[in-house]
Structure 1
Amino acid sequence: MDKIMNTAVRSLLFMMGVCLIVWAFMPNWRTAALGLLLGLAASFMNAFLLRRRVEMITLKAAGGASRRMGMGLGSRIAMVLLVAMVAYRFPEDFSMPAALIGCMVMPFILLVAAYIHNRNKL
């Protein structure tokens, strides 16, 4: 799981770097690039929240100490709602469609990273 997550994080950071370069050198695309960057940051945080949740569930299933469970899905939805509120509040800086698309990117990156890491095992 750690190898897959590290690969996904590296590719997400690369995408964030591309968004920064687009923001710096293409003035017509600034709102879209900044919206995508905001969404990618939320997607990054949601991936780590989901990873923490999976680790907590596997620890509990293995008979480990029972820790108090958090909000889970609620915190990830709240993160996306926060991105939507920021993009709605500042439409001159952030593109709402780009921000929402950026929020949905990390699961697909994780899927591709898992496929790449597991294709040799088949």
Structure 2
Amino acid sequence: MDNIMKTAVRVLLYLLAACLLVWALAPEWRIVTLGLLLGLAASSMNAFLLRRRVEMVTHGAAGTGPRKMGLGLGSRIATVLLVAMIAYRFPEKFSMPAALIGCMVMPFILLAAAYFHNKRQS
């Protein structure tokens, strides 16, 4: 799982760099790219929260550590709600549709990274 996450984070960093490049070179797309940047940042945070949760569940199921309780889905939903509130509060800086699309990018990147890692191992 660590290799898949490293690959996904690397792809996400390339996407963030591309958004910054578009933001710098195309002033008419600044609102959209800032929305994407905000959504991608929240998406990466959600991926790390989900990874931590999966590790907590696997260690608890294996009996190797104490059973820990967490917010789980609530914290990931709260980050998306925070992005939506920021985009709603500052519509002149962030595009709401772009921010919400950016929030949903990381699961697809993780899926593609897992597929390619699986293909490479086969």
Q: TM-score, normalised by structure 1?
A: 0.97
**Quick one: distance in 2 between partners of 1:65 and 1:4?**
24
After superposing on structure 2, the runs of 4+ consecutive aligned residues of structure 1 that deviate more than 3 Å are none
Match of 1:83 in 2: 83
**Quick one: distance in 2 between partners of 1:6 and 1:33?**
24
The two structures, once aligned, show a CA RMSD in angstroms of 0.8
Cα deviations by residue, 1:42-80 (Å, 9 ceiling, x for unpaired): 000000000000000000011122243110100000000
SS in 2 for 1:68: coil
**Quick one: distance in 2 between partners of 1:39 and 1:60?**
31
User: 1:120 Cα deviation (Å)?
Assistant: 3.2
SS in 2 for 1:3: helix
Match of 2:66 in 1: 66
Contact between 2:60 and 2:68, CA under 8 Å: does it hold in 1?
no
User: 1:121 Cα deviation (Å)?
Assistant: 3.5
User: 1:40 Cα deviation (Å)?
Assistant: 0.1
Match of 1:24 in 2: 24
Question: In structure 2, what residue type is equivalent to 1:35?
Answer: G
Cα deviations by residue, 1:4-55 (Å, 9 ceiling, x for unpaired): 0000000001000000111111011000000000000000000000000000
Alignment of 1:1-122 (within 5 A): 1-122=1-122
**Quick one: distance in 1 between partners of 2:14 and 2:120?**
25
**Quick one: distance in 1 between partners of 2:110 and 2:120?**
17
Identity %: 73
Between the two proteins, the alignment pairs up a number of residues equal to: 122
Listed as ranges, the gaps of 5+ residues in structure 2 are none
Q: TM-score, normalised by structure 2?
A: 0.97
**Quick one: distance in 2 between partners of 1:57 and 1:68?**
8
Cα deviations by residue, 1:65-119 (Å, 9 ceiling, x for unpaired): 2243110100000000000000000000000000000000000000000000001
